[in-house]
Structure 1
Amino acid sequence: MIDKKMTSREQLLELQRRMSLSIIGQDHVVERLLLTLLCDGNALLEGLPGLAKTRAIKTLSQNLQSDFSRIQFTPDLLPSDITGAEMYLGEDATERFQFQPGPIFGNLILADEINRSPAKVQAALLEAMEERQVTVAGKTHKMPKLFMVLATQNPIEQEGTYPLPEAQMDRFLMHITMTYPDDISEKAIVRLVRNESSQDDVKQQAPIIPQQAVFAARGEIQQIGISDAMEDYLVAIVAATRRPAEWDSDLGRWISVGASPRGSIGLDKAARAHAWFHGRDQVAPDDIRAIVHDCLRHRIILSYEANADGVTADEAITQILKLVAVA
């Protein structure tokens, strides 16, 4: 295991460093994944094929003490394929039925292309995310203490998909978007993969970051302070998504439905985690601004006019940040 003298923050920063070496040019994504883990939440990762969405969660699992499960969502998937099922053991068995847990019973769960499966299968996963348990044949089975779902979806292939309803999207703490790396990062990626291919099969594994580092960090994040002024600023941002016309006529035309209270709760958790990650003991305005797009872009519904004007949720949120001042 890793040096026990390291603090929980030092261990999480080391985890971030290792992930950034493998996920080149996606520092924003790496930090957001770790923030989601520290907040005991779940993340929806959206990006074009080949941008290392799967590699990101696999790299996290390789460097953190954890059980990793990958679920490929397809139209023929059944809820029991995720949750598990009661198996019949025969007449002579002491107990005729035994629960066989499905892949959801891991620590880090990759739900690949979640929008490829029907609503019933999506609901089975989302119940486990929200309730941290599943019920099969009348029996409740708890998730592990360390549990995070990273769901991915492709933004361009929509034929034959089942888009997540807004109410289910709201259950994700963050909606993280991945974009193309810059040219310098692209060159580094090519070299990284080339070197990986030429290395021997036997690789020296770096010391694993223990789960206890995450649990200790969560306890420290609970102690991060947030002033009344920062709380007012956070609430004002969310309120502006619900009453956009009071702030700006364009916002009033663009936003149809604003963020729910889950948005405010998510902002509070993520802002405190961001402050802790950057060595602060109090939430600053920059902590809220840093994570507001990831926490709110999937919680607001744009109008037909916004879509016609080519306005995105990120642009609407950016406009809100320009209008809402810190008290």
Structure 2
Amino acid sequence: MTKNNRDLPGALLAWYNRHARRLPWRAPPGAKPDPYRVWLSEIMLQQTTVVTVGPYFERFVARWPSVQALAASPLEEILTEWAGLGYYARARNLHRAAQMVTDKFDGRFPDDEAGLKSLPGIGDYTAAAIAAIAFDRPAAVLDGNIERVTSRLYAITEPLPGVKPVLRRLVAEITPRQRPGDFAQAMMDLGAMVCQPARPRCLLCPLVRFCEGSAQGIAAELPRKAAKKARPTRHGIAFWITDEQGRVLLRKRPEKGLLGSMTEIPSTDWREDKPSQNAAANAAPLALDWSPLQGRVRHVFTHFSLELEIWSADVEGSAAPEGTFWCRLDDLGNQALPSLMRKIVKHVLTAK
């Protein structure tokens, strides 16, 4: 750290003392945080915005106020509460990690990065964030906001993600040994409130005198990112089946893989080519007189986009095929339906 940059942590922490965001999982500046709340929030915040996470976090801690309570809960209840938050492997790992903390660590979270990374669902970033915020370890925390702030501070023009190791080294150099958790959160808040993506508010920034990107007039251009590959589109057909009582047929997805252990409306496989009518009929859980609904349901996953047609049919009798079950329409909200399936429900109820 240069002599000039030695003043950077103090300037940022002084700003944070006055302007820290009030978040439901965050302790006030200088206060001791609850590791359970820090861990839960960091898992929820992986690839999800603060605004989206807030209500989910509040519901989780009201229902499961401790890691022991979360560990004792059935996975299905956690998945139902998680529904709509996305990236459902996080919920399964959350449950496994809670059980591991309870059984292996006597209900106490490991307090360093190495120990934290032994828990399911915790990688380099999350381990560093929890170690710094929950246990005040001087870990180099590097989320999207901190990447942007650091890229601008040092005028780093090499593109992400390849330049991440350089950014991590620079963050490690400026992270203080006193209040490293507050420093990490201050960097996050600075990126969220001042050093914003398209229009950095440099006149309000407490670090502007340290910022090479601002001095060179290129702050708004940073960080640069490598071109993304085109996202392919997959296709499928979902089967909306109702019985004489108006119940809809559902099934549980396999534990491993995309949307693992979540509840779904049965469908064909999702492939690059649109399924033929014969192939779709053979994939349906029942042989019925199908009526295609107008329109399609579209959803974007991390690595591909999905377009689903919806076929609808009524069935006589109430015997559910093996691996499926009937659910009343007014009970769908209590099922672990991911966002895609909720879109299908909405589409069907609007189209009918």
TM-score, structure 2 as length reference: 0.21
The structure, 1 or 2, with the larger RCO (C-alpha pairs under 8 Å, 6+ apart) is 1
Larger Rg: 2
TM-score, structure 1 as length reference: 0.22
